[in-house]
Structure 1
Amino acid sequence: MGKQISWDETGSRWFENGCDRGVLYVQGDTGNYPKGVAWNGLTKVTEAPEGAAANNLYADNIKYASLRSAESFKATIEAYTYPDEFGECDGSVEVAKGIKAGQQTRKAFGFSYRTNIGNDTGTTSDDGYYIHLVYGATAAPSSRNYETVNNSPSAITFSWSVETTPVNVKGIKPTSTLTIDSRKVSKENLKKIEDKLYGTETADPILPLPDEIVTLVGGTPGTPIHG
């Protein structure tokens, strides 16, 4: 039997908010992402994908087909502070203890952060969360506005424009992002992922590549689920 569509049923009014648990993973020489560090003071991540623009083809005096250009992932990271390890991703090198030189080669990095999920049945957005994973990122130089302390003091905020180079994934096109839904991944598998991302008492935090993430939740790389 079919089911008639209904709107705004109790418990189905989902929303997403918040931004926390930022982690930086500086890319290693082999393309992996070892030893993540906490990114404290994270205030905002703005995802801004580009591309996928339509290229229309015409023949026989009609619109014959429409092709889409390749899509790329860009983002902006905003924070009150950043890990020391991000310095080499932001074009600085420590030349002596406590002294850094700017305008240096920028290293690629991976990045993860979390957003909360809530719905109309709760008073807070604690019904679940998304873990966002970003691969192959590089940061552009950012402006910094320093001003005198006055009677309305505020902390300096930093902002970086980020572009990415996708990594290979079996069975689908290369990607720069994965999103993990805590409502749909089992608690056991979610713990496996979070132990990797955030570390344990016996293991450093790392950013697994997409195929490893698929394996951690019991999937088979190269066999995407449809529908």
Structure 2
Amino acid sequence: MKIKWDEDGKRKFHAGVSHGVVYPKADGEGYENGAGWNGLTGVTESPSGAEPTDLWADNMKYARLISGEDYSFTIEAYMYPEEFEPCDGLSTPVKGVRVGQQKRKGFGFSWQTKVGTDEDPDKGYIIHVVWNATAKPAEKTHETMNDSPDAETFSWECDTVPVNIAALKPSAVAEFDSTELTAKQMKAVEDLLYGTESAEATLPSPDELLAAVKAAV
């Protein structure tokens, strides 16, 4: 069939960021219960690596090796949940007192972006999930109030370590797209990540999330 461009309803775009959730790492295995992240203004994904190294032999290019990939991201927000403080190197020895430069706890993170089309700007959404993240120390700027006041913003650069996934290479990030998965499959993912009336929000392993999606078919 001949290729067609710009057909109605097929011109997609991504926009927005919402529904942020942080999952601090538990002292043992796994993660603590998730906490909603209010005031989330941006998430910038910064994958790196996969750089080629050419091998030469017999006066010609013999092969090409590809380096491993790394995944990092930046969170921007007007504020952060209290549960994120240990991940930012803050300790609270007494309520209302925060001491910095402490051990930084690892965490998991999830957020949503919208998927729209030329016909429907609310066509669907994507849930992004990250495992094994660590936040770097971040610069904080405090400025005087003036005749054009604005709220302070926070920003954290975060690195990750991949986790094992059955039958796939280890990875620290996955996406769940509502325009391709059924409503039942998306609900299975959301019930785990966001919790229900009878269950707390958790961050399962990639294999557990994939199993939930397959079981909900």
**TM-score of the aligned structures, taking structure 2 as reference length:** 0.97
SS of the aligned residue for 2:31 comes to: coil
Taking the TM superposition and a 5 Å limit, the aligned residue runs for 1:175-186 are 175-186=171-182
Q: Partners in 1 of 2:72 and 2:197 — Cα distance?
A: 34
Shift of residue 28, structure 1, vs aligned partner: 1.3
1:110-166 Cα shifts (integer Å, max 9, x gaps): 0000000001112xx310111000000000011111011110000000000000011
Match of 2:151 among 146, 149, 155: 155
Partner residue of 2:69? 71
Taking the TM superposition and a 5 Å limit, the aligned residue runs for 1:166-177 are 166-177=162-173
Over the matched positions of the two proteins, sequence identity in percent amounts to: 48
1:210 paired residue number: 206
What's 1:88 paired with? 86
Q: What is the CA distance between 1:15 and its match in structure 2?
A: 0.5
What are structure 2's unaligned runs of at least 5 residues? none
SS in 1 for 2:186: helix
Tell me what 1:145 maps to.
141
1:52 offset after TM fit, Å? 0.5
1:111-150 to 2 correspondence within 5 Å?
111-122=109-120, 125-150=121-146
Deviations 1:168-197 (A, max 9, x none): 111111110010011111111211110111
Write the letter of the residue equivalent to 1:151: D
Aligned residue for 1:30, secondary structure, equals coil
Count how many residue pairs are aligned between Structure 1 and Structure 2: 215
Runs of 4+ in 1 over 4 A off after TM superposition: none
Q: 2:187 aligns with which of 187, 191, 215?
A: 191
Q: Which consecutive unaligned segments of at least 5 residues does structure 1 have?
A: 220-227
For residue 104 of structure 1, give the secondary structure of its aligned residue in structure 2. coil
1:3-61 C-alpha deviation (Å, 9 max, x unpaired): 11111111111100000000000011333123100000000000000110011111111
Give the secondary structure class of the aligned counterpart of 1:217: helix
SS of the counterpart of 2:168?
coil
CA RMSD of aligned residues (A): 0.9
SS at match of 2:165: coil
- Name the TM-score, length of structure 1 as normaliser: 0.93
**Secondary structure of residue in 2 paired with 1:9:** coil
More strand by share: 2
